[in-house]
């Protein structure tokens, strides 16, 4: 998949609309983790440095209409500190005030628009709205890989009206994820976890014939364990996905994929720090308990299965890592990936929660790539051509 990468030099003096993902946690006007803003700095600094007149557009959260707490204004202030130059902000995305702000931009200036989801037309990919957003500009740069699975006005619609190019973050994501999906160095392992099987069905279906090793942990493992008629107590389970899990267990066997499920778990009667935690073998989960992390034997088994692996894709934590009592499994996998990376393996972590867990454990820089995408990474791995990527393809 070859993308039309933006050439910063071609943006000099041009009014450029750039889609970023500034969907950062903001509480009482203060930004928590600014990683998403930082991820676009390469694009912003290159284009602004080359003399492009930059308008940035992003969503923040899921507002129902104009919600002051979901204003992007604090992101403009944070960006200003990061790029060490003024960043203008307008409380709208289209209309006279916005057009005037865009007209007054000089070479290298940066303007951030208000949360694009304040307009319901955004998620409907309304053509009139997309046109109004696009028209004051001369070109479009899509850098928000994490929003590329959505056919919205600012991710897809505007590309109908402007010559469209991929930003550097978008290019890096597509390059690395394509390498993993289409041409992995073997042996290749896929590690899945997190809460839901249903989110990952497409990925399992597409990747099962490509992987050598499949490791399933986290809450989703219990649906697979239930499919093997094990008693899972009150652990997370999707009964309507047990049939799918059975099929996948059989299919993995038929394809010669080595499939690993937890052999022991940390259980408690509720997901809380104060609950009493104990480790039990997988066939001894008490009826009133729920599995909240993989146990030490599972960690050993999974780490052994990963030894010698040359490509790893990991999506979904091994347990409720947000609680210190149930983060061991997730941390152990992050550590193992860092060791594989040091040995030359390509290790890719995808998904907002998994990325946060790897970061919290201090291994963010010790793996090859932490994808900025959650849903986008999963859909990319399903083999879909994402709507926000399609207009960027080199024909
Ligand atoms: P997902 O978005 O599907 O990747 O799910 C991430 C969430 O799964 C995290 O918030 C974890 O707390 C949760 N999770 C992981 N393991 C378990 C488990 N055994 N039981 C309940 N929730 C879990």
Helix, strand or coil for residue 13? coil
Query: Tens digit of pLDDT for each residue in 214-252?
Result: 999 999 999 999 999 999 999 999 999 999 999 999 999
Per-residue model confidence (pLDDT) at position 46 = 98
Flag whether pLDDT at 395 surpasses 90. Answer: no
| Residue pointed to by tokens 């997370």 | 236
Within 6 A (CB) of ligand 1 lie 193-196, 199, 218-219, 236, 291-292, 316-317, 319-320, 322, 351, 353
Q: Which residues are catalytic?
A: 36, 196, 352, 375
Q: Read off the tokens for 32.
A: 């928590």
Query: Tens digit of pLDDT for each residue in 67-88?
Result: 999 999 999 999 999 999 999 9
Rg (CA), the chain: 23
Distances (CA, A) of 19 to 80, 299, 305, 312, 368: 17, 40, 40, 29, 25
Query: Tens digit of pLDDT for each residue in 32-64?
Result: 889 999 999 999 999 999 999 999 999 999 999
Name the residue of 203, 219, 272, 350 to mutate for ligand 1: max ligand atoms within 8 A of Cβ: 219
Query: Is residue 247 within a helix (H) or strand (E), and if so which, with residue range?
Result: helix 242-255
Q: How far apart are CA 88 and CA 78, in angstroms?
A: 12
Average the pLDDT over 136-163 and give the result.
98
Average the pLDDT over 129-140 and give the result.
98
CA–centroid distance, 167 to ligand 1, in Å, is 32
pLDDT-derived band at 297 (thresholds 50, 70, 90) equals: very high
CA–centroid distance, 124 to ligand 1, in Å, is 30
| Residue pointed to by tokens 């600012």 | 154
E strand spans, the chain: 15-19, 26-27, 30-31, 53-57, 87-89, 110-112, 139-142, 164-166, 188-192, 213-216, 258-260, 264-268, 278-281, 290-294, 311-315, 346-350, 369-370
CA–centroid distance, 195 to ligand 1, in Å, is 4
Contacts of 362 (CB under 8 A, 6+ apart): none
Average pLDDT over the chain, rounded to an integer: 96
Average the pLDDT over 382-392 and give the result.
96
Q: How far apart are CA 265 and CA 329, in angstroms?
A: 10
* Atom 6 of ligand 1: nearest residue by CA position: 194
Question: Regarding beta strands 264-268 and 278-281, do their DSSP bridges make them parallel or antiparallel, or are they unpaired?
Answer: antiparallel
Per-residue model confidence (pLDDT) at position 351 = 80
Other C-beta atoms lying within 10 Å of the C-beta of residue 322: 15
Q: How far apart are CA 246 and CA 121, in angstroms?
A: 42
Q: Which atom of ligand 1 is nearest to the CA of 200?
A: 3
Q: With contact defined as beta carbons under 8 Å apart, do 120 and 65 qualify? A: yes
Q: Which atom of ligand 1 is nearest to the CA of 320?
A: 12
pTM: 0.93
Flag whether pLDDT at 27 surpasses 90. Answer: no
Question: Regarding beta strands 30-31 and 110-112, do their DSSP bridges make them parallel or antiparallel, or are they unpaired?
Answer: unpaired
Name the residue of 190, 194, 272, 282 to mutate for ligand 1: max ligand atoms within 8 A of Cβ: 194
Per-residue model confidence (pLDDT) at position 6 = 98
pLDDT-derived band at 28 (thresholds 50, 70, 90) equals: confident
CA–centroid distance, 197 to ligand 1, in Å, is 11
Distances (CA, A) of 272 to 69, 292, 324: 29, 10, 10
Q: Read off the tokens for 140.
A: 């479009």
Distances (CA, A) of 9 to 47, 133, 159, 308: 8, 23, 20, 43
């Amino acid at each position: 998949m070859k993308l039309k990468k933006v050439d910063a030099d071609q943006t000099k003096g041009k009014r450029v609309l750039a889609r970023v993902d500034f969907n950062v946690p903001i509480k009482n006007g203060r930004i928590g983790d600014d990683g998403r803003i930082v991820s676009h700095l390469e694009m912003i600094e290159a284009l602004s440095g080359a003399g492009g007149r930059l308008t940035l557009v992003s969503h923040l959260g899921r507002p129902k209409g104009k919600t002051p707490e979901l204003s992007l204004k604090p992101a403009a202030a944070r960006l200003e500190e990061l790029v060490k130059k003024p960043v203008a902000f307008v409380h709208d995305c289209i209309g006279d005030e916005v057009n005037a702000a865009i007209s007054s931009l000089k070479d290298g200036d940066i303007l951030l628009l208000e949360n694009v989801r304040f307009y319901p037309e955004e998620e409907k990919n309304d053509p009139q709205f997309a046109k109004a957003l696009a028209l004051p500009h001369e070109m479009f740069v899509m850098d928000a890989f994490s929003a590329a699975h959505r056919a919205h006005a600012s991710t897809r619609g505007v590309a109908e009206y402007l010559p469209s190019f991929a930003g550097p973050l978008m290019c890096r994501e597509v390059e690395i994820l394509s390498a993993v999906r289409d041409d992995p160095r073997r042996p290749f392992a896929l590690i899945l976890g997190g809460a839901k099987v249903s989110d990952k069905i497409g990925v399992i279906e597409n990747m099962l014939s490509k992987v050598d090793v499949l490791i399933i942990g986290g809450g989703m493992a219990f649906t697979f364990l239930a499919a093997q008629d094990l008693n899972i107590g009150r652990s997370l389970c999707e009964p309507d996905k047990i049939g799918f899990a059975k099929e996948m267990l059989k299919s993995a066997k038929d394809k010669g994929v080595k499939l690993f499920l937890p052999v022991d778990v940390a259980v408690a009667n509720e997901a809380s720090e104060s609950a009493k935690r104990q480790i039990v073998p997988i066939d001894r989960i008490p009826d009133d308990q729920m599995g909240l992390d993989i146990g030490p034997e599972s960690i050993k088994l999974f780490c052994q299965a990963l030894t010698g692996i040359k490509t790893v894709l990991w999506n979904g934590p091994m347990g409720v890592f947000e609680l210190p009592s149930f983060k061991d499994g997730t941390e152990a996998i992050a550590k193992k990936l860092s060791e594989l990376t040091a040995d030359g393996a390509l290790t890719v972590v995808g998904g907002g929660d998994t990325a946060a867990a790897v970061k919290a454990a201090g291994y963010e820089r010790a793996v090859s790539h932490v994808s900025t995408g959650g849903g986008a990474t999963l859909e990319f791995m399903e083999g879909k051509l994402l709507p926000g990527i399609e207009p960027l393809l080199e024909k």
